Structure 1
Amino acid sequence: MSRPLPAPSRRLLLTGALAAAFSTAVTGCSSDSEASAGGGRRLRIGYFAFPSGDLIVKRRKLLEKALPEHDVSWIKFDSGAGVNQAFLGRSLDIAALGSSPFARGISGSSPIPYKVAWILDVAGENEALVARKDTGVTGVAGLKGRTVATPFASTSHYSLLAALERAGLRASDVKLVDLQPQAILAAWQRGDIDAAYVWLPTLDELRKDGTQLASSKEIGAAGRPTLDLAVVSDDLIARDPQVIDTWRKVQAEALRLLKSDPDGAVRDVAAELNIPATDARAQLDQGVFLTPEQVASADWLGTDGTPGRLLSYVTDTGRFLAGQRQIDAAPSPDAVRKAFYLKGLPDVLK
């Protein structure tokens, strides 16, 4: 796919990629969906195997302890594409989701029925663009004509497009390949790709014999930040909004534990990712984790009735994706505003 596709064809391509990701991610989860339809007490949580407070909540069973009457199921996803498809299929209640796939999800005439309710982390050095050392490429501009992999419809995909633009390249100047993190690692080891934009822990494997060309930290500082958000289904908002308050409380506790009990947080993340504690510590150090108070501040998510700067970040992301022909049209500022669920903030954090 070395040349830009017309918008309808690109949309069909992305739709197929999303469907494939969804099929892989939720295999075997249909029983969860069916069970929840009748009882309303099942909570289906989508998460990533990515260093964050989410893994602390999962490992310590903070949500299960806070909601003993609920049957909590944690479903792992590889990227935001699968999360979006799962929400379309009403197979999730709450999930982690990157800001770029979120902007995609709320675009168009039939937006995905969910809303952002929390910020898990801000992308830093934990997402980056790396080139194989044997290519001799030392700058983003050197990728012209090269094969570059990233998971389409992800924050890494968005950041890759932004990095190419900053270097004076168009997407059509490189051969973009849609691969999930594990597939990226395999393609890298075979020598099938020249570079990749991806996140931890796959990113650290690429760094071992690669040259980092850009990171989401520097791209964010240049005006295109990406974040990992927590989104909640419209069904859950209507059915049981108190659960969302509880979810925020345990996520806030996890953010505080990252600072007050860093050793314990490292042990939790290491256990969840099945990696040594030294690796878990190094990976956590590459992320940017806000305090709960910062999450609910005007600089980020905001409060009930007063959205924060995340509103403009998501709006700008949608405009950029539309300009890159990744979506048909950017979501309007009003559509973005309606996709925020801020009820209860900041009181729920007290």
Structure 2
Amino acid sequence: MSPASHGPSRRLLLAGALAAVSAAVTGCSSGSEASASGGSKRLRIGYFAFPSGDLIVKHGRLLEKALPDHEISWIKFDSGAGVNQAFIGGSLDIAALGSSPFARGVSGSSPIPYKVAWILDVAGENEALVARKATGITEVAGLKGRKIATPFASTSHYSLLAALETAGLKPSDVELVDLQPQPILAAWQRGDIDAAYVWLPTLDELRETGTQLTSSKQIGAAGKPTLDLAVVSDDLIARDPGAIDAWRKAEAEALRLIRSDPEGTVKAVAAELGIPEKDAEAQLSQGVFLTPEQVVSADWLGTDGSPGELLTYVTDTGAFLAGQQQIPAAPSEDVVRKAFYLKGLPDVLK
């Protein structure tokens, strides 16, 4: 979140991911496509089964209420790599996306046609590096020569590389394995891997028989923060900017509800994830959720004409990924700035 060193398998993985995405979108939104051709408007929204404002918006049908003339489809993804491929294929209008895969998406000569328009959360203890207790490993440096799984091109992958660097290890000093969260759990249970960097809810299951070595909260505090962003397609910006305004308002309401109605938030997340409320409460407590006012502050996303510190975070992320040979070249700050959609902020939230 080295893919470069595994070119053929990586291409096959991305091709498979795009095929799966296409099938999912066809299954979930065929009705909306038909309606769109009849004059109705559509929104295809990618989300993760991960505690965030997205789940509250989805569960409360906040967007459906705000945009009754739109056909809205919610499409679940496992990681940012799949989201990026879906945008390349023109299969999404809005989606959750980690800051690291976003930095990848805007790099290169053919950047993905999307822009960041919101911040869902800041990674905290909800993403972490855990080693199997059976290995006896208690610190990151002890992973030398070990097999570590993480979803490549994800924020967890980025944080893992940062953790290794801080511990004085190169990616070549360990064996990195590209696995999605559920396959990580299966490999962990079989004893096929020694450690994993991943997010909730898989992370909590690993913690039961593992030792946490570091977290995205610690890595962020040391200067390499990761965030769950929300991006919108260039096509949606051109054809339906009003829908983006309504969506931002719904996401802002969700962030307010996380603070003002914790009980309702827990119930919504539990229902969406199909887990007990006590587990939903524990998962929510590990995330860092900004207020809408903080999202549009100079410290984070910023406002129309004045991007915030997120611009620096994403630019630095791109530079780090390039230094780690994860991408051919780092996107310049100007390129990253052009991948921000801040029109209407902060007024649209009032």
TM-score, length basis structure 1: 0.96
Matched, 1:17 2:6: no
The question of whether the paired residues in 2 share the 8 Å contact of 1:255 and 1:292 is answered with yes
The question of whether the paired residues in 2 share the 8 Å contact of 1:30 and 1:91 is answered with no
How many residues get paired? 345
Q: CA deviation at 1:161?
A: 0.3
Q: Secondary structure at the match of 2:317?
A: helix
Task: Name the aligned partner's letter for residue 189 of structure 1.
Answer: Q
Q: CA deviation at 1:36?
A: 7.3
Q: CA deviation at 1:332?
A: 1.1
Deviations 1:238-282 (A, max 9, x none): 001010010000000000000000000000000000000000000
The question of whether the paired residues in 1 share the 8 Å contact of 2:18 and 2:89 is answered with no
Cα distance in 2 for partners of 1:260, 1:184 equals 35
Unaligned runs of 5+ in 1: none
Q: CA deviation at 1:155?
A: 0.2
The question of whether the paired residues in 1 share the 8 Å contact of 2:87 and 2:114 is answered with yes
Per mean C-alpha deviation after superposition, the further-off stretch among 39-48 and 10-19 is 10-19
* C-alpha spacing 1:35/1:104, structure 2 compared with 1 (3 Å): farther
The question of whether the paired residues in 2 share the 8 Å contact of 1:35 and 1:42 is answered with no
Cα distance in 2 for partners of 1:295, 1:248 equals 11
Matched, 1:266 2:262: no
* C-alpha spacing 1:128/1:304, structure 2 compared with 1 (3 Å): same
Cα distance in 2 for partners of 1:20, 1:157 equals 20
The question of whether the paired residues in 2 share the 8 Å contact of 1:25 and 1:76 is answered with no
Deviations 1:79-132 (A, max 9, x none): 000000000000000000000000000000000000000000000000000000
Match of 1:105 in 2: 105
Cα distance in 2 for partners of 1:108, 1:10 equals 19
Q: Secondary structure at the match of 1:119?
A: strand
Cα distance in 2 for partners of 1:229, 1:16 equals 26
The question of whether the paired residues in 2 share the 8 Å contact of 1:144 and 1:174 is answered with yes
TM-score, length basis structure 2: 0.96
Q: Secondary structure at the match of 2:129?
A: strand
Q: In structure 2, which of residues 19, 23, 26 is the aligned counterpart of residue 27 of structure 1?
A: 23
The question of whether the paired residues in 2 share the 8 Å contact of 1:22 and 1:81 is answered with no
Q: CA deviation at 1:10?
A: 4.3
The question of whether the paired residues in 1 share the 8 Å contact of 2:144 and 2:173 is answered with yes
The question of whether the paired residues in 2 share the 8 Å contact of 1:14 and 1:152 is answered with no
> Aligned ranges for residues 87-98 of structure 1 at < 5 Å?
87-98=87-98
* C-alpha spacing 1:324/1:37, structure 2 compared with 1 (3 Å): farther
* C-alpha spacing 1:301/1:147, structure 2 compared with 1 (3 Å): same
Cα distance in 2 for partners of 1:149, 1:101 equals 17
The question of whether the paired residues in 2 share the 8 Å contact of 1:11 and 1:327 is answered with no
Matched, 1:167 2:163: no
Q: CA deviation at 1:25?
A: 3.7
Match of 1:121 in 2: 121
Match of 2:331 in 1: 331
The question of whether the paired residues in 2 share the 8 Å contact of 1:113 and 1:234 is answered with yes
Q: CA deviation at 1:148?
A: 0.2
Cα distance in 2 for partners of 1:14, 1:332 equals 25
Q: Secondary structure at the match of 1:256?
A: helix
The question of whether the paired residues in 2 share the 8 Å contact of 1:48 and 1:77 is answered with yes
Q: Secondary structure at the match of 2:45?
A: strand
Q: Secondary structure at the match of 1:29?
A: helix
Q: Secondary structure at the match of 1:27?
A: helix
Match of 2:286 in 1: 286
Task: Name the aligned partner's letter for residue 94 of structure 1.
Answer: I
Match of 2:317 in 1: 317
Calculate percent identity across the aligned residue pairs: 79
Q: CA deviation at 1:42?
A: 1.1
Deviations 1:193-221 (A, max 9, x none): 00000000000000000000010000000
Q: Secondary structure at the match of 1:177?
A: strand
Unaligned runs of 5+ in 2: none
